[in-house]
């Protein structure tokens, strides 16, 4: 990055100086690649993202991409890591701040749907649409993600059921956690397949009231 001071719009330096490409800081290009991939996935009806298209969007060579990621699968893993870290950090915060039971489950579900709304491209990764024809381990990792979500919901709901003196707290919690997880997945799939027009949080409070 140049150390020259900023110039006014009328400055001759701006008009005459040749354009100089800024050199990304360490790690910055990697983030740019992931951001570009996520943005490309936000296009409704987008076909499979190729490394050639991704490189063209960033105005770099495909070889430049592979200096930061060994494969396209590794790029998707970078997006999945972002999803995992973001979501489970919030899941833990909800568990710490909210008493176990229906309220904790409701906030977790709401958080997941809001995360999807703010990150449409990530939603296509979460439901697997963007992972078709990619490495099978990517889909397996997302399957594990939702297994962990269901387990977290079950834990909170079981504590709530025990507090309510339910006769079968583990079974009740398992059934409800499974139902809520299926609800989340269904809402995310509808969001992605509607071209991001049907928001996941549509009628959320009323839906949760029926389920919890």
- The answer to whether 33 and 82 are in contact (CB under 8 A) is no
| Domain hosting residue 176, numbered range | 73-210
Q: Which residues contact 37 (CB under 8 A, 6 or more apart)?
A: 49, 54, 75, 76, 79, 121
The whole-number mean pLDDT for each consecutive block of 10 residues of the chain, a chain of 212 residues, reads 41 43 71 95 80 94 94 96 97 92 96 97 95 93 98 91 75 94 98 95 95 90
Is residue 18 included in any domain, yes or no? no
Q: What is the DSSP letter of 71?
A: S
Q: How far apart are CA 40 and CA 19, in angstroms?
A: 27
Give how many domains the chain has, as a whole number. 1
Q: At 106, which CATH number?
A: 1.10.357.10
Is residue 37 included in any domain, yes or no? no
Is residue 129 included in any domain, yes or no? yes
Is residue 149 included in any domain, yes or no? yes
Is residue 178 included in any domain, yes or no? yes
Is residue 170 included in any domain, yes or no? yes
Q: How far apart are CA 53 and CA 40, in angstroms?
A: 9
Is residue 65 included in any domain, yes or no? no
Is residue 60 included in any domain, yes or no? no
pTM, to two decimals? 0.83
């Amino acid at each position: 990055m140049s150390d020259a001071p900023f110039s006014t719009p009328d400055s001759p330096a701006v008009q005459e100086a040749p354009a100089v490409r800024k050199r990304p800081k360490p790690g910055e290009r990697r983030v740019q690649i992931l951001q570009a991939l996520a943005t490309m996935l936000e296009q409704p009806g987008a076909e499979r993202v190729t490394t050639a298209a991704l490189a063209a969007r960033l105005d770099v060579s495909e070889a430049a991409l592979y200096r930061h990621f060994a494969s396209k699968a590794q790029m998707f893993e970078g997006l999945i890591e972002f999803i995992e870290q973001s979501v489970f950090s919030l899941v833990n915060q909800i568990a710490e701040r909210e008493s176990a039971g229906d309220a904790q489950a409701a906030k977790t579900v709401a958080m997941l749907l809001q995360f999807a709304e703010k990150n449409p491209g990530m939603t296509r990764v979460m439901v697997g649409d963007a992972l078709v024809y990619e490495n099978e381990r990517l889909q397996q990792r997302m399957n594990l993600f939702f297994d962990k979500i269901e387990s977290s919901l079950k834990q909170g709901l079981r504590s709530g059921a025990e507090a309510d003196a339910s006769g079968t707290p583990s079974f009740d919690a398992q059934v409800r956690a499974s139902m809520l997880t299926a609800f989340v997945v269904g809402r995310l799939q509808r969001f992605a397949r509607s071209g991001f027009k049907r928001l996941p949080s549509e009628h959320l409070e009323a839906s949760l009231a029926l389920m919890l």
